[in-house]
Amino acid sequence: MYLLSKSLQAVLWSSLFLSSVFASGDLKPIFLFKDVLESNYTALTTSGFDTLVIFRVGVLATGDLVYYATGSAAQAVTITAVSNGTYVGGAQLANKIKSYKTGNTTVNRVEVSLVSADTTFVNIENLINTEGVGPTTILYQNFKALKAAWTLDAVNNDDESNYDVPSTLKFAEMLGTIGYKYTSAPYTNLDFWSTVGSSLNETNPGMYDRLYLQCYDGGENNDPGEWQDVLDMKIVPLLWVTNDDKPEYGNTPALSQIKFANWSSLYSVAGGGYWNDYDIERMNSSYTLYADALLDVFG
């Protein structure tokens, strides 16, 4: 037996991973913008979605993790989830999130999304530059506590402004050490994500396993095929459901199915998904019809 170089391991992993995991093209995620304590739990867990991405968790300058969401009356929801390495978000919230993958459910994966709508990624960069990412650091302790409390599978990176490569890589590698998978949800900056992806696939093969590509709003002209070619990674295009915030970017279930079918035919994408549950409920749309559009294309 002989040892393969890291670069060769990464190439072999990429080939095997794409052929085995993405061959069926069956990923069906939906992003959860609505407060999980108020959203339609039954519809989310039984309509056919297999991945729920909780939007969002913020990282404060102290390292505390905060759950931000939007309630049924469009009110802001803010709950401190982890502080000083201890989960403090309450049993009700934890139990609801943990239950997504149990009982009568189609969900087999739950992620949390970090976004740049606040100073999350600047705070992460500063904390890493100050403390590092070892087991005794506040970032490590807090994300370890969150994973345990919510039985999370992955952390989703939706950085749309900071784009610091060194801290992004160190943070991702720290998450992998804790036991998370790592995903992203970009709308632009293909060069940045290519650098991040190639680095992580060399140092941590298999950890960075999904890219959800925004194909609406600022990413409306994104070509999934181009992203796949550059990143050497199958991706999951995202569409915005019917909404009254930016209705010009909204998609009915029927239109979604047409777009997903086209991308599947042209590029053999890894599945398809939606932004977001809040708008489905606000507009009295049907979770079932949106999920059926995915099931009809991706099985």
Q: With pLDDT > 70 as the criterion, what percentage of the chain qualifies?
A: 92
The pLDDT value recorded for residue 1 is: 32
The pLDDT value recorded for residue 16 is: 37
- Does pLDDT of 111 surpass 70? yes
Confidence of residue 118 (pLDDT cuts 50, 70, 90): confident
- Does pLDDT of 254 surpass 70? yes
The pLDDT value recorded for residue 257 is: 98
CB neighbour burial string for 19-51, b if at least 16 within 10 angstroms, e if fewer: eebbeebbbbbbbbbbbbbbbeeebbbbbbbbb
The pLDDT value recorded for residue 24 is: 41
Mean pLDDT lowest for which of 9-18, 113-122, 178-187, 232-241?
A: 9-18
The pLDDT value recorded for residue 117 is: 81
> Rounded to an integer, what distance in angstroms lies between the CA atom of residue 156 and that of residue 151?
15
Select from 226, 201, 167, 230 the least CA-distant residue to 16.
Answer: 201
pLDDT per residue as tens digits for the range 4-33: 344 434 433 343 333 333 334 489 999 999
pLDDT per residue as tens digits for the range 24-75: 448 999 999 999 999 999 999 999 999 999 999 999 999 999 999 999 999 9
Angle at CA 252, nearest 5°, toward 249 and 254? 130
Domains of the chain, first to last? 22-298 (3.20.20.80)
Q: Cα–Cα distances in Å, from 56 out to 39, 113, 155?
A: 14, 5, 10
- Does pLDDT of 148 surpass 60? yes
pLDDT per residue as tens digits for the range 269-284: 999 999 999 999 999 9
The pLDDT value recorded for residue 265 is: 97
Neighbours of 175 (CB within 10 A): 25
Residue 22 vs residue 155, higher pLDDT: 155
The pLDDT value recorded for residue 89 is: 98
